[in-house]
């Protein structure tokens, strides 16, 4: 794919390109439920110049705050595949944590099916293999008090945010939509990816044990490696100093062959 127009197709961009003239690969990053591009803010400063970071800007947050968040994976994939194609004029890779892992995986499959192109590498984090029976909680329709209690128990939303009433009124529709998207997701078997997959998991994440992370390896004909890191489900927020070298090594190995 040789397109070079990097202008967003709509009024608000779907991807936040952080240009690097020496970059040889673009790393597209997809957040967990309720997450934003801010998760990856520090990454750009610590990744080598050969890697250009491109966080996704999903509806319901940031510049797209007034746009309704998606609750079904299929329409999201249709839009993302269309919006990402102008950025695929160089080798690229995907990283996604939890919900973001599902998005990255399904987008990779969509691009392969529709455009005959796929990432040079797929990094998935904090998410069991897609074919493993789902246990995503049915919380998106709970009353606010119960919904917020569930969020607090997951340890992914800071207490100061949960206790900020006006802020939660703004964020709650997006949070509910993200959890509904995860709950509604249904894996459909298909052609295997060819790209390598790197899988990251938290040693204290009881909901995502290693053997369920290893199930990702059945989704590619390429190499697959699983790395277990200290932390619970949201180890991504504390372990970037460990995560980034793993991603860097995986991508640099392929950069050298470009």
Residue 171 DSSP code: H
Helix ranges restricted to H, 47-164: 73-84, 99-115, 144-154, 159-162
Which one of the listed residues 37, 98, 125, 257 is annotated catalytic? 98
Residue 247 in contact with residue 124, Cβ under 8 Å? no
Active site residue 98: yes
The side-by-side arrangement of strands in the sheet containing 197-202 is 51-55, 25-30, 92-97, 121-125, 197-202, 224-229
Say how far apart CA 230 and CA 36 lie, in whole Å.
23
Give the H/E segment covering residue 242. Answer: helix 240-255
Residues marked as catalytic = 98
């Amino acid at each position: 794919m040789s397109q070079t127009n990097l202008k967003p197709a709509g009024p608000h961009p779907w991807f936040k390109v952080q240009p690097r003239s020496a970059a040889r690969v673009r790393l597209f990053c997809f957040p967990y439920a309720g997450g934003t591009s801010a998760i990856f803010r520090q990454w750009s400063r610590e990744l080598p110049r050969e890697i250009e970071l491109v966080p996704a800007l999903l509806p319901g947050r940031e510049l797209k705050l007034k746009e309704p968040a998606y609750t079904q994976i299929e329409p999201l994939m249709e839009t993302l595949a269309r919006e990402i194609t102008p950025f695929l004029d160089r080798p690229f890779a995907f990283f996604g944590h939890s919900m973001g892992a599902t998005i990255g995986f399904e987008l990779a499959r969509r691009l392969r099916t529709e455009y005959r192109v796929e990432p040079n590498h797929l990094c998935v984090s904090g998410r069991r293999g897609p074919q493993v029976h789902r246990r995503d909680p049915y919380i998106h329709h709970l009353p606010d008090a119960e919904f917020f209690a569930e969020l607090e128990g997951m340890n992914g939303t800071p207490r100061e945010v949960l206790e900020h009433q006006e802020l939660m009124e703004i964020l709650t529709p997006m949070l509910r939509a993200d959890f509904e998207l995860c709950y509604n997701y249904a894996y459909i078997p298909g052609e295997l990816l060819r790209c390598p997959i790197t899988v990251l998991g938290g040693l204290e994440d009881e909901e995502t044990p290693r053997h369920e992370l290893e199930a990702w390896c059945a989704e590619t004909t390429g190499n697959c490696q699983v790395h277990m890191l200290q932390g619970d489900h949201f180890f991504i927020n504390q372990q970037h100093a460990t995560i980034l070298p793993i991603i860097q090594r995986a991508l640099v190995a392929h950069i050298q062959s470009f």
